Structure 1
Amino acid sequence: MFHRKFKLALSIFISILWNSVLAEWNTRDYIRREHSLTKPYQGSGMSVPYWDFLGSTIVTTNYVRLTPDLQSKSGAIWNTAPCYTRNWELQVQFKVHGRGKDLFGDGFAIWYVRDRMQPGPVFGSKDYFYGLAIILDTYSNHNGAHNHQHPYISAMVNNGTMHYDHDRDGTHTQLSGCEAKFRNYNHDTHISITYRDDTLTVSTDLEGKNAWKECLRVENVLLPTGYYFGASATTGDLSDNHDIVAIKMFELDLLDTQNRDEDRSQIIPSAASFEAPRERIEDQKPAMSGIKTFLYMMCIAIVIIVIVVLGIMWYQKRQEHSRKRLY
Structure 2
Amino acid sequence: MAAACSRNHHRESRHSALGLFSAGNNMSCKSLWTLALLALTLSRCVADDDHEMEEFLKREYSLSKPYQGVGSLGSSHWELMGDAMVTTEQVRLTPDMQSRQGAVWGRMPCHLKDWEMQVHFKIHGKGKKNLNGDGLAIWYTKERTQKGPVFGNMDNFTGLGVFVDTYPNEEKQLEAQKKRYSPRTQRIFPFVLAMVGNGSISYDHERDGRPTELGGCNAMVRNLKHDTFLFIRYVRRRLTVMIDIDGQHEWRDCLDIPGVRLPEGYYFGATAVTGDLSDNHDIISLKLYQLTVLRSKKEEQEEEEDQITIPSVDNMDLLRLELVEERMSGVAIFFTVLFSMLGFIFLIVIGLVVYSHWNERRRKRFY
1:44 and 1:202 mapped to 2: Cα distance? 27
Secondary structure (helix, strand or coil) at the match of 1:172 reads helix
**RMSD over aligned Cα, in angstroms?**
3.0
Report how far residue 255 of structure 1 moved: 3.3
Counterpart of 1:162 (choices 201, 206, 209) is 201
Secondary structure of the corresponding residue to residue 29 of structure 1: strand
Q: TM (normalized to structure 1)?
A: 0.75
1:67 matches 2:67 = no
Q: How far apart, in 2, do the equivalents of 1:273 and 1:148 lie?
A: 24
Aligned to 1:272: 314
Identity of aligned residues (%): 45
Matched, 1:191 2:230: yes
Q: Give the CA deviation at 1:162.
A: 1.0
Q: Aligned equivalents of 1:272 and 1:240: distance in 2? A: 36
Deviations 1:84-119 (A, max 9, x none): 000000011000000012211000110000000000
d(CA) in 2 for partners of 1:21, 1:204: 24
**Aligned equivalent of 1:255, options 287, 290, 294:** 294
Question: Is the deviation greater in 266-275 or in 56-65?
Answer: 266-275
2:260–2:314 contact (8 Å) kept in structure 1: yes
Shift of 1:253: 0.8
Aligned to 2:162: 134
TM-score w.r.t. length of structure 2: 0.67
Structure in which a larger fraction of residues adopt helix: 2
- Taking the TM superposition and a 5 Å limit, the aligned residue runs for 1:247-326 are 247-257=286-296, 258-259=299-300, 262=304, 266-275=308-317
Match of 2:60 among 34, 54, 68: 34
Question: In the TM superposition, what is the alpha-carbon distance from 1:210 to its structure 2 partner?
Answer: 2.1
Note the alpha carbon deviations across 1:168-189, whole angstroms, 9 max, x for none.
Answer: 0000110111111111111111
Q: Could you tell me which residue of structure 1 aligns to residue 276 of structure 2?
A: 237
In structure 2, the CA distance between the partners of 1:277 and 1:237, relative to structure 1 (3 Å rule), is farther
Give the whole-Å Cα distance in 2 for the aligned partners of 1:45 and 1:123. Answer: 20
The answer on whether the counterparts of 1:22 and 1:210 sit within 8 Å (CA) in structure 2 is no
CA distance in 1, matches of 2:27, 2:68: 39
CA 1:277–1:55: 2 relative to 1, 3 Å: farther
Query: What code does the residue aligned with 1:270 have?
Result: S
Structure 2 counterpart of 1:271, one-letter code: V
Contact persistence 2:54–2:291 (CA under 8 A): no
Work out which of the two has the higher radius of gyration on C-alpha atoms and give 1 or 2: 1
Q: Unpaired runs of 5+ in structure 1?
A: 1-6, 279-327
Shifted more, 21-30 versus 265-274: the winner is: 21-30
* Counterpart amino acid of residue 30 in structure 1: F
Aligned residues: 270
Cα distance, 1:213 vs. partner?
A: 1.2
Is residue 134–residue 277 contact of structure 2 (8 Å, CA) maintained in 1? Answer: yes
Moved more, 187-196 or 145-154: 145-154
Deviation at 1:25, TM superposition (A): 11
